[in-house]
Amino acid sequence: MNIMKKISFFSIVLLSLLQLSTSAQGITQITSFGSNPGALNMYDYVPSGLSGKVPLVLALHGCTENATSYAQQSGWNKLALLHGFCVVYAEQTSANNSSDCFNWFDTTQIERNKGEALSIIQMVSYMKAHYNIDTTRIYVTGLSAGGAMTAVMMAVYPDVFKAGAVMAGIPYWAATNSTMALYIMDGFVVNKYTPAQWAQLVKKQFPGYTGAYPRLAVFQGTADAVVDTDNTTQLIDQWTELNHAHQSIDSTYNSFQGNANVQQTIYNDSSKNPAVYHYKITGMGHAIAVDTGSCPRQGGAAATYSIEEKGFHSTYWAAQFFGLIPNPYAITGAISVSVSATGEVYSVPNTTGSTYTWTVPAGATIASGQGTNSITVNFGAHSGDVSVTENETGGCKNDPAILYVTVGSTTGIETVASPEGKMYYSEQENSIHTNNISAEALRNLHIYNLIGQDVTPAYLVNGTTLGLNKKLTNGIYIISLQGTAKRYTGKIAVY
C-alpha cells in the first residue's frame, strides 16, 4: 500500500460526508495572516456581540477532512456562539499532503518556529492582533492527524496554549518520518520511552521555558482500528510527566454522565490538582463522539469520523475541560442567613416542562419545592453552595447554577483570618496567593460577588498560588477555599 495513502490514517475517504458550504458554516477564510511557511489555510468563526476579552480555540481537522467539514462535524461554532469565544480552523492542503493530513511526523514541520507549526501560531497571532483575545485562555484541539498536531502545538508553544484536547492522536515526536508513523499508528513500539524520556522530547523544543505546560484531555474509542490505543497510553505518560502528575490513575468515573460506554479517568499533579483527563469510549472506532441535537450539551454532525454517542458530545466536554462553559443563569435568594434560619426561598427562571434538581449545604434541608424552579430551605449551621441543575422536557440537561450562602453572618462576608491559613489577591498577576492552606482546599476555590454568583474559575499555578481565568472588575468579592476538615474564607476589594 502507498505509504502516504496509509498515512491518511486518520483516513478512509469521507465519501458519505455531505459538506456544508463555508458560508453555511459561518467560517471565514483569512488569506493574509503572516509569512505562512507551512502553506496552510486559515478560517475563523467570530460570533457577533462579543464583548470584553474572549477565549480562543484552535481546531485541527483529520486526514481527508477540511476546515468546513470539521466545523460541521465537531460543533465548535455552536458552543462559541452560546458561550462567547472565537474559533480558528487551520486547514491542510493537498499540495502539502495528498490526503490532507497535517504532517505531524515531518520534523521540518513540527519544531518551534518552523513549518506548519509556525503557520498555525501565526493564525493565533492574527486573532490576537484583530480581536480582543484573552491571551491566558487560548486552547487547541484536533482529531487524528489534527490530534497529533494538537500535541505538537502544546509541546512547542507551551507559552501560548493553556490546555489541549486530543481526539485519537499521537504523542509529540513519536515519529520522525512516514515509515515510523505507520508503525506508531499500528501500535508497534518504535522507541520504548519512559515518561521522563517522552517529556524530554517536548522540553528540548523550548529549553529556556520554565513555565507550566498545558493540561491535556484525551478522547479515544476502544475500537479504533486506525490509531492504536497504545498511543493514548503514551500521550498520558508524556503529559503527566510534563505536568508533574501521577503516572497512575487518581480518580475513575464509570458510566460518565450516565453513559455506560464512557469512562473518565483523572491524573492529578503533585498538588492533587487534575492535570490529565482520559475519556475512554467503549466500542467507538476512529472518530470524535458527537451527540446530535439542539440541547446545550449536544452538537456536531454524524459522519465517517464523527460517530453518534448519545449522551456524550466530546466537543462539549473538551470545552468544559477548557473552562469555557459558564453557569446558565443566576439563583436568586439570600446570600447571608442566620444559623438555623427557616423559610429561605431560592429560585431560578422557570421553563415550562423542566424539572430542577437542587442541592443545599450540609445540615440544611429542602422544606418544599424539590423538582421545581423554586425551593424553600431550612438551614443548619454550615455555609455552602445552593445549586440547581435543570432537566428540560425534551431531555436536555443544563449545567448547574451555584449560589454561595453564608450562614451566621449579618454582612454576607464571613472572614477567616488566622495564622495557619492566609490568602491575598494580586491584581497585577490576577492570582490568589495563599499561606499554610491545604492542597485539598486549594482545589476547591470559589470567588463570589456580593450577590453570591461564582464569578470565575481558577487553576493551580503552584502549591500556594491560584490563577484566575477572568480578570476581576472593580468591586468586593468573597474568596472561599473548602477542604474536608476546614474552610477558609475571606474578602477582597478590587479598585
List Cα–Cα distances, 423 to 326, 435, 489, in angstroms.
Answer: 25, 6, 9
The residue among 317, 313, 286, 318 whose CA lies nearest residue 65 is 286
Q: Are 143 and 61 in contact (CB under 8 A)?
A: yes
| Torsion angle, alpha carbons of 385, 398, 219, 226, to 10 | 170
Residue from 119, 144, 314, 438 carrying the catalytic annotation: 144
| Torsion angle, alpha carbons of 63, 64, 66, 69, to 10 | -110
Question: In the structure grid, which three cell numbers stand for residue 49, read together?
Answer: 456581540
Residues 19 and 17: their CA atoms lie apart, in Å, by: 6
Residues 483 and 191: their CA atoms lie apart, in Å, by: 43
Give 440-443's long-range contacts (Cβ < 8 A, gap of 24+): 440/272, 440/483, 440/484, 441/481, 441/482, 441/483, 441/486, 441/487, 441/488, 442/271, 442/273, 442/466, 442/481, 443/271, 443/272, 443/273, 443/274
The amino acid that residue 210 corresponds to is: T
Residues 53 and 43: their CA atoms lie apart, in Å, by: 20
Instruction: Please provide residue 288's backbone torsions phi and psi, each rounded to the nearest 5 degrees.
Output: -95, 150
Beta bridge partners of 138: 56
Cα within 13 Å of Cα(440), Cβ side: 6
User: Kind and range of the H or E element at 272?
Assistant: none
Give CA angle at 16 (10, 22), nearest 5°.
Answer: 85
Residues 484 and 420: their CA atoms lie apart, in Å, by: 16
The residue among 247, 274, 278 whose CA lies nearest residue 264 is 278
Residue with the three cell numbers 492574527: 126
Whether 144 sits among the annotated catalytic residues: the reply is: yes
Q: Which residues contact 92 (CB under 8 A, 6 or more apart)?
A: 40, 41, 61, 66, 100, 101, 102, 116, 145
Residue with the three cell numbers 473538551: 318
Residues 304 and 226: their CA atoms lie apart, in Å, by: 13
Q: Which residues contact 396 (CB under 8 A, 6 or more apart)?
A: 293, 294, 295, 296, 297, 298
The residue among 106, 101, 113 whose CA lies nearest residue 6 is 101
Which residues are annotated as catalytic? 144
